[in-house]
Amino acid sequence: MAALLREISKNGRVLLVVAAPAEARAVESGFRVASIEARADAAWGWPLRPLAEGIDLVETGVGKVNAGAAAAIRGPDFGVVVNLGVCGSLPIDNAPRIGEAVLASVSVYADEGVQTEAGWQTLPGMGFALGPFAGVGIACDEVLRGALAPLAARIAPVATVSTCSGTDALARAVALRTGAAAEAMEGAAIGHVLARVSPQTRFAELRTVSNTTGDRALQRWDLRGALARLTDIAAAIAGSRT
C-alpha cells in the first residue's frame, strides 16, 4: 500500500500524523523502525520521523491546537496526510466495536458552536464560516478513502472534540449533532488547516476504537488491543502485512 499512497500523492510524499507517544510507537512498530528516544521533548518541535521511502511520521501532541500547528508546519510538504490514532465509540445503532478500525467519511467538529436553551447552534449556522468547506466537517479525500477503505471495518463520520464524552448525556449529544460513529481530538483540525494552507494535499483520518464513551465509570477499554490494531494497519500501509 505504501506504493499506492505515494502514487496518489501529488509529490510522492506521505505524512502519517499521530497525537500521542503510544500511537507513534504503534505506527513505528508496524513499519519495523526503532522508536525515537526522549520523545516528549522532541515532539514540541514536530520533527519528522522517516518510516520508509517517501513516508514520514509526525507526533503532534494531543488536541486541536497541537495538531493544527503541526499540520500547518509539516503538511504542505506532503501530497498525502493521514491522521492515525485511537478513538472512542459513540452510542449509535450498530456502534463500532472496540478494536475495529473506522475510516472517517468526514472529520467533523463536535463543539465549535454555542449551546443555548433552544439547542445546539453551529458557528456556520450562525453565519461564521470556519474555513473553505461547507458546515463543520472536512471530507476525506475520495481517492485516498478508496485506497484506505480495505483497512477499515467501516467508513463513517468521526467527531473531533475538545471535551471527550465521559457522561451518557454528552456522548448522546455528540452523536446526535454530528452523526459520528466515533470521537477523537485532532482530525478536523488537521484537515481544516490543510484546507487553508495546502488544499492540494489529500487528507484522511483512520482510527482504531480503544473505548466506549458515556458514563466514565462504565466505559469499556482495550487500549492495548486498539494500539495493536493500529500496528497492523501501519504494517499493511508499509506492505509488510495484509
Helices assigned H by DSSP within 186-222? 187-197
Mean pLDDT on 68-79: 97
The answer to whether the beta carbons of residues 72 and 53 sit under 8 Å apart is no
> How many domains would you assign to the chain?
1
Domain, as residue range, for 41: 2-238
Instruction: Give the pLDDT confidence of 7-36 residue by residue, as tens digits.
Output: 999 999 999 999 999 999 999 999 999 876
Which residues, other chains included, contact 119 with Cβ-Cβ below 8 Å and sequence gap of 6+? none
The answer to whether the beta carbons of residues 160 and 189 sit under 8 Å apart is yes
Q: How far is CA 200 from the centre of its chain?
A: 19
Output the domain CATH number for residue 102: 3.40.50.1580
Instruction: Give the pLDDT confidence of 160-201 residue by residue, as tens digits.
Output: 999 999 999 999 999 999 999 999 999 999 999 999 999 999
Distance CA 161, CA 104 (A): 14
β-pairing, 14-18 vs 55-59, is parallel
The confidence score (pLDDT) of residue 44 equals: 64
Query: Which regions of 90-139 does DSSP assign to beta strands (E)?
Result: 101-109, 113-116, 119-122, 137-139
